[in-house]
Structure 1
């Protein structure tokens, strides 16, 4: 047979087969579309009509107050439970409130009738919308209610991947809230510490100001006392002059009376309180030894003992240095004598 004839025959056969294949594909597509509109879609709408909802109906916020739950749900039969479930679906009570929502009613139906197709199909078809309701509870940070709704969804479809997403989101929201609460606590503690520090600083400043004022008053009183002492001793000094004159006259004439007596203090001086001791509120005493010359002046002044050491020594010796005495007399002649004096420093 001629080869060219065979090739032409095959090309003609392939050309005739192409329109047939296209026609078959078109018929199949028409059958699929027809099956969707005539069988599948009406079946889904029938199921959703029985369950009280529609997959295209978005979940909206509840605008109606949920009716009270049935009196005795456990005693209801399958038909009664399906009726309550449809009512709940119409009111978009997918997962809440507790004991009066569509999912709980459908789950009770499956407990009583495990093979009930209406309940199982309704749970499967409305699962995405119920999950959306649970997500709204998470977003509103009602974590306990969100956890309850997720657990209820898990009873309907424990292997649904949406549950993993919801649980992850719930955990993330809880951690975010915990972090925010911890930050608020930290801020409150920081504010409390700052307030306490401010109060402590103010109290310390007030105490320092009060102490400074007290020291200033003490210094002023001390200065007043120092200025007042000489004037108070002026009569004694005036009296000391004739006494000194008499002593001189007596010294010039030993045979005048032959008087013998101890030295007598004519003028004392209040010691100046050392500023460091005054600031430290420190007290103490000093025992000073000194000689009384024949003219009544003090000489050879030194500290015998003191408590505390070297705090009040100079002040005590300076005061004794300005003392004036009527010298001791022996047989009418002024003589030098030695005495010791304990000077106390008290605030």
Structure 2
């Protein structure tokens, strides 16, 4: 036989096979599409109708407002439980309220009839939508209800990975709420401490004002005495010699003699460590007042507690300004002690 004839025959055969393969693939594709629309999809819709409507419809607040659970659920038979489950599905009560939801009714059916296909198929197909309901409870921070719904989902499908996601979200939301509550408490404590410090500063300022007022009253009492002494000296000085003697005596006897008086006080700064730990205490500080009215030689005599408020007390005293003590009209140095209290 001629080789050229054989090759031509094979080429013709191959050319005829290719359209045939394409036609077979097209027919199979059409059969798959037809099976989806004619068999699979109607079956799913039938299952949805049997289990109580389409589960993808959003759950509204009105849907959740369900009647109380039926009386004596434990005595119901399988058909009665399925009827209640379908009613709950129609009302989109997948997981709530407690005792009157589709999942609990279907789970009771499986307890009475472990092989019930209607109940098992309904639980499996509505699981994603029921999980979405549980996620809504988590997002609304109804943590107890969310935990109950997750536990109910676990009874239906304990190995479903969605449960892990829901539990993680629930834990994260709880931690977020705890953090927000802690921040609120911290803000309240900070505001309270600030108010206490403001009250302490006001009290210190009021005490200083009272001290200055008392010192001014003392000075006002001393003025008439000095004025009378000066008048007596003027009346007695009728001759130059007498006037000179009187002037000398007045210089020695009429000169001002007084204790040091606080002119400017400073409220001590509350140590940050003591503020954080809510510590209170006091410090007794000894210091000298120079002729210029400034303090020096500052040291702590006693304190309670030790070494907590010492520096703050000394820094405050270092900034004090006094009217120096006077002796016969001359400013002199003196030493004082002062107890400074730190209270919250």
Query: Shared topology, TM-score over 0.5?
Result: yes
Per-residue deviation, 1:117: 0.7
What's 2:260 paired with?
A: 276
Q: Using the alignment, how far apart are the partners of 1:272 and 1:226 within structure 2?
A: 8
Residue 212 of structure 2 contacts residue 262 of structure 2 at CA under 8 Å; is this kept in 1? no
The CA deviation at 1:109 is: 0.9
The whole-number CA distance in structure 2 between the counterparts of 1:179 and 1:30 is 58
Q: CA deviation at 1:120?
A: 0.8
Aligned to 2:207: 207
Out of 269-278 and 147-156, give the one that drifted further: 269-278
Please state how far the C-alpha of 1:155 moved relative to its aligned partner: 1.3
Return the alpha-carbon distance in structure 2 between the equivalents of residues 153 and 44 of structure 1: 22
Deviation digits for residues 84-136 of structure 1 (CA, Å, limit 9, x no counterpart): 11111111101101111111111111111111110111111111111111111
Question: Paired residue for 1:4?
Answer: 4
Q: Is the 1:138–1:146 Cα contact (8 Å) retained in structure 2?
A: yes
Aligned residues: 258
Q: TM-score, normalised by structure 1?
A: 0.66
Shift in alpha-carbon separation, 1:206–1:38, aligned structure 2, 3 A: same
C-alpha change, 1:145 and 1:232, in structure 2 (3 Å) is: farther
**Cα distance change, pair 111–228 in 1 and its aligned pair in 2 (3 A):** farther
In 2: Cα distance, 1:195 partner to 1:203 partner: 12
1:196 aligns with 2:175: no
3-state secondary structure, aligned to 1:94: coil
Alignment partner of 2:61: what SS?
A: coil
1:238-262 Cα offsets, whole Å, 9 max, x none, are 9xxxxxxxxxxxxxxxxxxxxxxxx
- Decide which structure has the larger Cα Rg and report it: 1
Q: Which moved more, 1:88-97 or 1:59-68?
A: 59-68
SS at match of 2:59: coil
Q: Do 1:84 and 1:105's aligned partners in 2 also have CA atoms closer than 8 Å? A: yes
Q: Secondary structure at 1:275's aligned position in 2?
A: coil
The alpha carbon displacement at 1:209 in A equals: 0.9
Mapped to 1, the partners of 2:88 and 2:154 lie a distance apart of: 19
Cα separation, 1, equivalents of 2:69 and 2:151: 20
In structure 2, relative to structure 1, the CA distance for the partners of 1:312 and 1:276 (3 Å cut) is closer
Residue 271 of structure 1: how far off its partner (Å): 8.3
Q: RMSD across aligned C-alpha pairs, in angstroms? A: 3.0
Is the counterpart of residue 17 in structure 1 residue 1 in structure 2?
no
CA 1:35–1:272: 2 relative to 1, 3 Å: same
The reply on whether 1:61 has 2:60 as its aligned counterpart is yes
How far off its partner does 1:278 sit?
Answer: 9.0
Relative to structure 1, the CA distance from residue 224 to residue 5 in structure 2 (aligned partners, 3 Å threshold; closer, same or farther) is: farther
1:77 aligned partner:
77
C-alpha distance 197-278 of structure 1, shift in aligned 2 (>3 A) = closer
The runs of 5 or more residues in structure 2 that have no matched partner are 238-251, 264-323, 330-344
Structure 2: distance between partners of 1:188 and 1:35 = 67
How much has 1:38 moved relative to structure 2?
A: 2.4
The match for 1:144 is: 144
CA distance in 1, matches of 2:108, 2:30: 41
Q: Per-residue CA shift, 1:259-308, capped at 9, x if unaligned?
A: xxxxxxxxx968854232799xxxxxxxxxxxxxxxxxxxxxxxxxxxxx
Distance 2:34 2:53 in 1: 24
1:130 maps to 130
Equivalences for 1:1-347 in 2 at 5 Å?
A: 1-55=1-55, 57-64=56-63, 65-229=65-229, 272-276=256-260
**Are 2:255 and 2:327, in contact at CA under 8 Å, matched by a contact in 1?**
no
TM-score of the aligned structures, taking structure 2 as reference length = 0.67
- Structure 2 distance, partners of 1:17, 1:81, is 59
Give the direction of change, closer, same or farther, for the CA distance of 1:313–1:86 in structure 2 (3 Å limit). Answer: closer
TM-fit CA distance, 1:234: 10
My pick for the range that moved more, 91-100 or 176-185, is 176-185
Give CA-to-partner distance per residue, 1:299-320, whole Å, 9 cap, x none: xxxxxxxxxxxx999559xxxx
Which region of structure 1 is more displaced relative to structure 2, 161-170 or 86-95? 161-170
Conserved? CA contact 1:59–1:133, under 8 Å:
no
